[in-house]
Amino acid sequence: MISRMSLAAALAVAALVPSSAMARPASHGARHDSRVAERLTDPVVQARASAMAAIMSEMLLDLRVGPLARAVGEWGDPDLRDVPYDARVRDFAGPDLRELPRDIAREMPRAMGQMGRTAGAIEGMIPEFERMADEMRRAIDRADRRADRYSDPRDY
């Protein structure tokens, strides 16, 4: 079962990252990450994403699934054979999910803020990762030079 926060986070990402942005090469580095962190913590963006997520979840709950349920009923689940033709996802969701759009809209800003702070923290670590990579590269180069000095080409 998907948790409400997981659904909220997925909807936030879908609202913020258009497919063209996902196709960019990774060479944008920290500057690109910074924009993501800034956008995730921007109250205006959070409000828009919250509204969009609420609308999307409302639309999902209103999706007509009666014909599909009846077809599945014909394939073997007799309980689904008599589902009304105009049955919607909300008819199957039960009372716990009826308030999902409102709950998502309420929780979305907090979830996006957390994602933005995480992105900002990761961005802050990038220089340290780069320093570690440089150190590792130098250590490997030193090890290669030592190995070349002590190896006899006839050993291979």
This prediction's pTM: 0.56
Look at residue 9 and tell me whether its pLDDT is greater than 70. no
Q: Can you tell me the distance from the alpha carbon of 104 to that of 10, in angstroms, rounded to the nearest whole number?
A: 11
Task: Using alpha carbons, select from 127, 137, 135, 112 the residue that is nearest to residue 30.
Answer: 127
The pLDDT, as a whole number, for residue 155 is 58
The pLDDT, as a whole number, for residue 152 is 65
Tell me which amino acid residue 54 is: A
Confidence of residue 12 (pLDDT cuts 50, 70, 90): low
Tens digits of residue pLDDT in 31-40: 445 688 888 9
Residues 79-111 as b or e (16 or more Cβ within 10 Å = b): ebeebeeebeebeeeeeebeebbebbbebbbeb
Tens digits of residue pLDDT in 18-27: 444 444 445 5
